[in-house]
Amino acid sequence: MGGHIIFLDVSAGRYFSIPSAWNDGFRLALSGEASVLDEAVMPRLLEAQLLAVTDGPDHPSAPTLPELPIRSLLDEAVADASMVAGWRAAFLQWVARRTLSRHGLSAVASIFAALERRPEIKPDRALRIAKRSAMAFRRSGTLVTSADTCLVRSTALALTLRRRNVPAQLVLGVTASPFSAHAWVQLRDLLLNDRIEHVRSFTPIWAL
């Protein structure tokens, strides 16, 4: 992103970047060319635990990230949800906020991993469920405070759908200059809880 390298520390629930002088060295290490790293940079990357010395040639592969969505549910004519559905969505956001505040993003990732083993349902049924759930969360916008962040809302929506075997993804993206972070939910190429023009300004770095 414009020459910047931005990391997400899942266990700590924070984003961070490295000094620009380390960028080239880190990219060389990722490409398997650590042997040509600047001798002054390598110890710093090791000390920061951004690199680790291993005995074998294997290294973790880059995460698989979804393509940015090309259409948004908010631009489609979809029936509004009931107030009862809105209250339920508000409660699910409260649960997500408590989970994130008490146990962090790594706990959320563990929940997603456990749900990964569930079989997916047929695409047309998944789409119907996704639309109904997304509209319920949109309705809840009149019931929850502005302190409820995009991460809380998106985590709650994505977990709701995954528990119903809908293969929706929670996506986290960032911008570099100035730095900002955002979270949204998408089902394949359909954005469920945001506008296309908004999420296109972010580069996805993690998805569940």
Q: What does the pLDDT read at residue 36?
A: 52
Kindly report the backbone phi and psi dihedral angles of residue 22, in degrees, each rounded to the nearest multiple of 5, phi listed first.
-90, -15
Tens-place pLDDT, residues 39-49: 666 676 666 66
In the three-class reduction of DSSP (H, G, I as helix; E, B as strand; rest coil), residue 66 is classed as coil
Q: What does the pLDDT read at residue 52?
A: 64
Is the pTM for the entire model greater than 0.75?
yes
> Which run of H or of E encompasses 183?
strand 180-187
Q: Is 165 left (phi over 0), alpha (psi -120 to 50) or beta?
A: left
For residue 186, list its beta bridge partners. 169, 191
In whole numbers, what is the pLDDT of the chain averaged over residues?
Answer: 82
Tens-place pLDDT, residues 117-143: 888 899 999 999 999 999 999 998 877
Q: What does the pLDDT read at residue 58?
A: 57
